[in-house]
Amino acid sequence: MVPAPPSRLRLGPDTGAAAIGFFDWQWCSDSGAELCDPARAQFKECLIVLDCLLDDQPVARVPYAWVDSTVPLLRGFIQGMPKMFGSVWLTRSFPVGRAGVQRQPGARFTGTTGAYDRRVASAAVTITEAIGDPPPLSDRPLVHTRHFPAWHPGEKAINKLVMAKTSNVEFSDIWCGEADLYFDGASDGDLAALAPVEIGQGYLFSYSETLEPGQRI
Amino acid sequence: MVPAPPSRLRLGPDTGAAAIGFFDWQWCSDSGAELCDPARAQFKECLIVLDCLLDDQPVARVPYAWVDSTVPLLRGFIQGMPKMFGSVWLTRSFPVGRAGVQRQPGARFTGTTGAYDRRVASAAVTITEAIGDPPPLSDRPLVHTRHFPAWHPGEKAINKLVMAKTSNVEFSDIWCGEADLYFDGASDGDLAALAPVEIGQGYLFSYSETLEPGQRI
Amino acid sequence: MVPAPPSRLRLGPDTGAAAIGFFDWQWCSDSGAELCDPARAQFKECLIVLDCLLDDQPVARVPYAWVDSTVPLLRGFIQGMPKMFGSVWLTRSFPVGRAGVQRQPGARFTGTTGAYDRRVASAAVTITEAIGDPPPLSDRPLVHTRHFPAWHPGEKAINKLVMAKTSNVEFSDIWCGEADLYFDGASDGDLAALAPVEIGQGYLFSYSETLEPGQRI
Amino acid sequence: MVPAPPSRLRLGPDTGAAAIGFFDWQWCSDSGAELCDPARAQFKECLIVLDCLLDDQPVARVPYAWVDSTVPLLRGFIQGMPKMFGSVWLTRSFPVGRAGVQRQPGARFTGTTGAYDRRVASAAVTITEAIGDPPPLSDRPLVHTRHFPAWHPGEKAINKLVMAKTSNVEFSDIWCGEADLYFDGASDGDLAALAPVEIGQGYLFSYSETLEPGQRI
């Protein structure tokens, strides 16, 4: 489903640098109405991010994403960030209790993604240190291809390179530590090509953004 | 499914005092193993609690509970606290962002419960004040009836009154404020009998416990 | 989300004639591969169909549809038939047993649709007679608006009127009888406008089609 | 969770003879009320059956079962046939269409079971011949252990051997053919012990029963 990226976009200097992220989202539109019905306002997401250059600007690209709710699935399709339906789970942090897993040295956080009875990926980080800077690739502008397939004979598909725009970006409570990553690309040849060859550090952080209209590039 | 409570148990002095609670749980057994697979370690629960007396001891009883996961559903059945399967959602609190809904005066938190395409209950609290004491009924021992139905002819059902035991109880970050409650008991006559006649304050809090073996009473 | 229909399309002569259908689908692409993984090959759908004219040709239009799987949800979006995620259930027919509900006079079949803890619609038909012709509106060409929203400033949304094309259409085992319809449009003003004013007959049938590329009109 | 079987029960003469079955159920209580709400009346089940002897009577025993609905999950627990929650899917048969997969020579039917992002088993049969007799093990009485764990100190768990009783048993439209079986027991040591060493024929059939109270043995 992901069309070939236009030629202004290419892999970054550290070829193959990539990240997998697991996110527990709560969102609302300007009115805040969705927050009154948390079944609408929450979803979980896993996405893979590749280090890329747009001309000479460091950017990132999302070849695969999974969400467990259809509103972000369709929203992503419209933005140029198509997503697949999956089950995504993350260890959460609560202020009390043995199972509370608070953000402190030695705590271990896991994210998992599955689809169609297959665990596609799971990752864990044992956090050791609070840090100040956002994790690699997490603050890069995302370059997407807005794709709308042709449907009637003679029609041409839409394939437009766009840069996602956000405002009000905040990072908070960023930790790092040693990471594990299990990855099963067997269900999909393109996904298999993204299997990790080396595992770097893992990170844990809170993040917020306001999604703005995209920018044609 | 809930058998008649034995006669040592009766409604409390403030007849009809009750609460509905919505919980986002993360749990583990002694080994902590479940935390490495958050799909197993997390569930959401809604329960109704009634103010009762066991002889002269203030206790509480849970006539209805819903969970969105089968391990706590069966665990509850074994404990004497049968639960139904439902969808339960709660507004969450994140440290950043317009949709983060942090615990501060004026923030509004909602819980919802549904089953079989019907919203059974939703409640919201707009928190105004941090307080020191646990909400009413939240720290009462629960009195359950362990019920195992008869299955073969001549067998007698088990109906044993037990008190749930917990240790390591912690409350944290308790807030109160004005509450709304929507309640739809139409799907079930016994549930309809619990429809609220007056709505008191709402509360928001963090809580943990270790579940211990029950106590025969 | 549904843009205003272009002016060649208007309500049919029997203004307000409409149907609601509930479908248990099994599908495959040309290779048949999906049939080996029934989790992919099956979904359930509810859709509302309105009697319309395209110029002077009797057609039908689908203002609302719900599916319980994301592949048909996205496929519909691309075809110009956007769908919402919901739970859809239909009484099934099995060749044996008291609960088998076979297609014979007096048998009662129910379809239900829900979303976000709300039952949007349920309909039932008690079949009395096998008939030869497809139900009203069931064999009309569908006219959709392929809609792809604008995303970057200055962009124009795509809104193209298309006619859905199918081949290999088969109807089988068609029955009719008296119908009930419960409909709750409260969640959505446009949906509320479709509330039934009169309930006609209900139908039960098997149906298959091959989906072909659309036709620009 | 499955306690050791009492000694009157032992493996059958063809040690290790076993079957895995996938079922699409529709059920109702005496009133038939559930059929009006198919979300309640339907579930899918996978179960493993072992060839056993009770004293000298050929019986079968179910060491593992998965269902996708909580009513049969709890009903099974009460009967002595505990089940786990999982996703179960089966190729269905429709009277029309390329994806209809009718029961005729060469048609291929698949069943799959998964839990916690893992496909536990999938089996397929390419049917070649209609036959008259029920498949091996499918018509054996099931011997269960009704188990209710101890919960308060000093209590003894219940472990009662019971024979499941059914009436109104009907088999219909039985076919056989070559079978494939994929089995992944890695999530559970006891389950791993049931991995197949040899795959026999596969069967496709319709079946109904009325569940009766059990018989103490």
Mean pLDDT over A25-42 rounds to 96
Contacts of B120 in chain C (CB under 8 A): 117
Residue D31 neighbours by CB distance under 10 Å: 8
pLDDT, tens digit only, all 217 positions of chain C: 455 555 799 999 998 999 999 999 999 999 999 999 999 999 999 999 999 999 999 999 999 999 999 999 999 999 999 999 999 999 999 999 999 999 999 999 999 999 999 999 999 999 999 999 999 999 999 999 999 999 999 999 999 999 999 999 999 999 999 999 999 988 889 999 999 999 999 999 999 999 999 999 9
Contacts of C116 in chain B (CB under 8 A): 114
d(CA A162, CA A174): 29
Is the backbone of residue C116 left (phi > 0), alpha (psi -120 to 50) or beta?
left
Q: What is the DSSP letter of D35?
A: G
Is the backbone of residue D80 left (phi > 0), alpha (psi -120 to 50) or beta?
left
The pLDDT assigned to B186 comes to: 87
The pLDDT assigned to D2 comes to: 52
The answer to whether the CB atoms of A89 and B37 lie below 8 A apart is: yes
Q: ipTM for the complex? A: 0.93
The pLDDT assigned to A1 comes to: 46
Strands A143-148 and D143-148 come out as unpaired
Q: What is the DSSP letter of B6?
A: P
Structure tokens at C16: 């307000």
CA distances from D10 to A17, A23, D5, D65 (A): 58, 50, 8, 20
Q: How far is D206 from chain C (nearest CA, A)?
A: 7
Mean pLDDT over D138-157 rounds to 95
Model confidence at D1: pLDDT above 70: no
The answer to whether the CB atoms of C37 and D209 lie below 8 A apart is: no
pTM beyond 0.90: the answer is yes
The pLDDT assigned to D180 comes to: 97
Given a cut of 50, the residues of chain B with pLDDT beneath it are: 1
The pLDDT assigned to B1 comes to: 46
Contacts across the B-D interface (CB distance below 8 Å): 64
Contacts of A77 in chain C (CB under 8 A): 74, 77
The pLDDT assigned to B143 comes to: 97
The pLDDT assigned to D190 comes to: 94
Contacts of B35 in chain A (CB under 8 A): 91, 99, 101, 108, 110
The pLDDT assigned to B3 comes to: 56
Roughly what angle, to the nearest 10 degrees, separates helices D70-79 and B70-79? 40
The answer to whether the CB atoms of A116 and C39 lie below 8 A apart is: yes
The answer to whether the CB atoms of A78 and C151 lie below 8 A apart is: yes
Instruction: Give the model confidence (pLDDT) of D58-100 as tens digits.
Output: 999 999 999 999 999 999 999 999 999 999 999 999 999 999 9
Test the C interface: residue of D35, D113, D167, D182 with most C CBs within 10 Å: D35
Residue of B nearest to A122 (CA): B37
Chain D positions with Cβ closer than 8 Å to A: 87, 112-114, 116-120
The answer to whether the CB atoms of B119 and C119 lie below 8 A apart is: no
The pLDDT assigned to D6 comes to: 57
Q: What torsion, rounded to 10 degrees, do the Cα atoms B87, A35, C120, C170 define?
A: -90
Q: How far is C70 from chain A (nearest CA, A)?
A: 7
The answer to whether the CB atoms of C89 and D39 lie below 8 A apart is: yes
Model confidence at D187: pLDDT above 90: no
Contacts of B126 in chain A (CB under 8 A): none
Contacts across the B-C interface (CB distance below 8 Å): 22
Test the A interface: residue of B28, B29, B92 with most A CBs within 10 Å: B92
Contacts of C37 in chain A (CB under 8 A): 116
The answer to whether the CB atoms of C92 and D208 lie below 8 A apart is: no
Smallest Cβ–Cβ distance between D158 and the set B40, B148, B152 belongs to: B148
Residue of A nearest to D120 (CA): A117
Contacts of A179 in chain B (CB under 8 A): none
Provide the sign of the torsion angle of the four alpha carbons B35, B39, B41, B43, taken in this order: positive
Instruction: Give the model confidence (pLDDT) of A126-154 as tens digits.
Output: 999 999 999 999 999 999 999 999 999 99
Tokens 């489903």 found at? A1
